[in-house]
A = this chain, B = another copy of it.
Amino acid sequence: MPYKLGDIAEHLNAELRGDPECLISELSTLAEATPSCLSFLSNRRYIKQLESTQAAAVILDNKNANKCPAHALVVDNPYLGYALAAQLLYPLTDIKPGIHSTSSIAETARIDANSQINAHAVVQEGAVIGTGVFIASGCVIGSNVVIGDNTRLLENTVVCHHVVIGKNVLIHPGVVIGADGFGLAEQNDGSWIKIPQIGSVIVEDDVEIGANTTIDRGALGDTYIGRGVKIDNQVQIGHNVTIGEFTAIAGCTGIAGSSRLGKRCRIGGGCGISGHLEITDDVILTGMSAVNNSIIQSGIYSSPLSATDNKTWRKNVARFHRLDESFKKIRDEISEIKNG
């Protein structure tokens, strides 16, 4: 269903330089756009593509608007403009209220009539599910779980007992929320006694959680995911971790138990954050970083070496493993020279 450019401009709060009646049916990159497409320029790397784009209209900033060969939607932040336009053109699929006949719903579960429960989903005793909720096939909602309005749980997601999930949360397939944390006490013979994990998980409103991510329940007290936090795929969040609002965590990162991340942090992919640390607000961690100490000052932090050719790398690693020894030796030699 095509949209009028004027309506899109209004949705983006953009200045329209062009025809408000122009019809847009798709969103596309500058390079691949056809004359029914809206496109965007948010990265100067693509500025050459602007000149030759076939797009009917382009979202861009004022600085580049004069180079636009099509209708222009001028905004301060074209990437945000693109996001808003995409949300308008590609809205979430509508909820089809109803409970599929093959799902398994406990008698004591309370499910709002405007929610949708798909095939083979399971909702256990005492669970409370708000309005406009979507629960996909194969999900298992544990006993006494609470799920807020307009939240969507995609296929085969597991939410364990007593977990509380807010409104407008989006959970991708294969996620596990509220499994036991890794709590063990060692006995004298080296064997382990399991510590029952009696806390839960609280997921605030507007959170997104990527496919196959796991968030453990607290040992004592709860694991806490703040409002508007965005978590990518295959992230592991240990028991009693706290994540401050609007923090974003890229894929394959692991956060060990009881660590506390501040607000608006950006954690790159493949990072490892040790347990019992404090990471303050507005910390950026580049990908594959290992964090072993608390970070008390906002800023950008990094740790990994970057890949180089194997031959050079092997020589440098060999040097690294003798670094302390080598510097001591050099120091001694320099002292010797100085002292005659």
Contacts and interface: CB of A to CB of B under 8 A. Distances in A.
Interface stretch (A15-23, A63-71, A303-311): A303-311
Number of chain copies forming the complex? 3
A81 to B, nearest CB: 8
A228 interface: yes
A287 interface: yes
Given A174-B176, A176-B172, A272-B269, A303 B307 contact: yes
Interface stretch (A2-10, A50-58, A107-115, A288-296): A288-296
A269 to B, nearest CB: 5
Interface bin, chain A: 35 or more
A44 interface: no
Interface of A: 27-29, 32, 77, 79-80, 82-84, 86-87, 89-90, 100, 102, 104, 118-120, 122, 136-138, 140, 142, 154-156, 158, 160, 170, 172-174, 176, 179-180, 182-187, 189-196, 198, 206, 208, 210-212, 214, 216, 220-221, 228, 230, 232-234, 236, 238, 245-246, 248, 250-252, 254, 256, 263-264, 269-270, 272, 274, 284-293, 295, 299-324, 326-327, 330, 333-334, 337-338
